[in-house]
Structure 1
């Protein structure tokens, strides 16, 4: 009954005689004959290596030989060939069958796995094509991003140049204007435009055109402000973290810091009074905390300036950035505390 069941099995099966020279095939079922294309008289008495061919993996064949010599079971997949020469992937499990005298037979159950390998090849081809398409799309997006970045840098560069030209023209006009409110106004506007120019110059030089480094701006701004001051009498100090803010906030922040610092230098130290202005910025849970402090005469001691609009400008810019501002007398000097929410970096 067992032999009949094996004979009728749809799975290819073969038994070899372990005690005969060269371990020949002793029996094969109909499924094996149908799978290989050989007749029973062409199989019985021959070694199964008859199914091997030019592309059969020699290392796998050696593994089979080693397992048979050691009388150990083994499962492998091997490229075999049918009688007509067509190749197929043969998954086989070879098991030794022993009696009282040792190994008598080897039993091999087999399965045609050609369709699985063909699917794997097709899948690899599909994956290769997908990778090619993804690479091509990535390269296209990278090129587009590089073009966009270059364009934004060029815009910032041209804006910076134009602002510098405007600032220079206003300074020339200020020098030719008699001393008074008009000259002071031109000078102040030229300085404000210069601060905006610095912000755009930093945006142009940064690799990331989407963000603005407040710490780098503070360093540049500090150098520009102190260049025009007597270091023995007045100085501007800065302790600003390298906070990355959205590029859209570059101009408002530059204008805000310039206005508060310039106003402190202009109004907090009358009559050649010595002093210093400090700028500090820290990131906090809600965004950024900015402090501008001076050790001058304070809010109450500053001379009224009916023509000035610096404080109004500062408060307008803070509102534009959805922040809050508090002015206090620091005794001595003035302390300005500003909290600004920051956009999430993307």
Structure 2
């Protein structure tokens, strides 16, 4: 995080227990281009992460302390082009497709989502803009993309809505965790948030590698999510039992499923094997005559008698709600004290 953003954090009186080094590492490692402005006094950009520099070709020193108009880029598929900076400030929430002309002569096509982040009293504090690279930097592809947009290609419109929903979830995650940081110094808080962000990043990675816009292989995706979590935790003695069938699903199904799996595995690694030096976490993604389902289980201590998951009002409940609404799925929980817990996601 730049010293400018650090100064802004001090202005909004985030307590000292917030570890600014961890906060900085979190923003630096987000796999999406992010730019933040302050709304406390006159609006100006206070932060841009390395992913933005790589995507746009602009260094952060060019825009920090400046209005949004310093960002390069203009809209795609409109009769009257709109500058990227003007579009960002035009409304509290903005979504659109833009072309950024880079200093090296190449062009980046990006999907933009920007949103205002308010404090607990509802007072606007920051504006966050996230930019997702949606096409290679090739002039012929830029022209093809413009034609598709003018023809209102429904697949691209659906992709825009998908990006909007995903990035709205990122903003919600940042807001919830930031509020927690103000109340307590919870160990590993930003590691958990990084896992959630990584679940989203892995979807875009698979889309990019497969050349698909609509679908990912759920088995491959959940394998990547589970392996990433195990690698990040580095807990000795905990074994991952992974069994997945290959079947395609839409991103609107894959993303909430991956985030639920991330939450459940993270909880298992944190709580299931207390005072134990070994254990097993099971991840199955199956498609057979019984239907399509995902099972997440462990052989740990199980849920305490007075504890349920997801807990109403917590972020896990929001993610499960997204799973039920977007993936048309049901979640069943079977916990046996001392023998572990089993979560089964069943798709309609």
Assess same fold via TM > 0.5.
no
> Is the radius of gyration larger for structure 1 or structure 2?
1
Structure with higher helix content: 1
- What TM-score bracket applies, with the shorter chain setting the length? 0.3 to 0.5
Question: RCO (CA 8 Å, sep 6+): is it higher in 1 or 2?
Answer: 2
| TM, length-normalised to structure 1 | 0.45
